[in-house]
Amino acid sequence: ARELVLVFESLILDGSGGEEQLRHVVRTQSNLGWLRRFPALLLTASNDGTSKIWRASTGECIRSLVGHQNFVGSAVFSCDGKRILTASGDCTAKLWSTESGRCSLTLEGHQDMVCSAVFSGDGEHIVTASGDCTAKLWNANTGQIGRAHV
């Protein structure tokens, strides 16, 4: 399998004159089909609790998704590119609008960090996997839990 590694750095001003440089790293060995579908945008997850959308051609950060209370370990585009799904150490997954950057759903119900969150092929469902040893199937439009598996 081919490996793609992308590193973006952003500079954060802390308000008191200090600076903190953050590294957003994407490493994948999976199918790179998403890159062919959305060549203009890249998506990163970060330990600072954010996910960022980047313009691939320039490396410019065009949007930050802010709302998690702990690290974001996973971030994925929906198949149509209109939504973003993030999974976090705060025991939640969140659904975001790619265009506006607004959170439209917070999926709560896990007792430990959400390690991974993915869309179904039709975009109607979301599957989350957690450190609590469960996987949950959610309705992507309502946020209702359809099934939980231990």
Q: What is the mean pLDDT of residues 62-74?
A: 95
Kindly indicate the confidence band of residue 52, based on its pLDDT and cuts at 50, 70 and 90. very high
40 CB neighbour count, 10 Å cutoff: 10
Write down the pLDDT at residue 30.
43
Write down the pLDDT at residue 44.
87
Contacts for 22 with CB less than 8 Å, ≥ 6 apart: 9, 10, 11, 12, 46, 48
pTM of the predicted structure, to 2 decimals = 0.75
> What percentage of the chain exceeds 70 in pLDDT?
72
Write down the pLDDT at residue 32.
44
Structure-token pair, residue 5: 């590694």
Summarised one tens digit per residue, pLDDT across range 107-146 is: 999 999 999 999 998 999 999 999 999 999 999 999 999 8
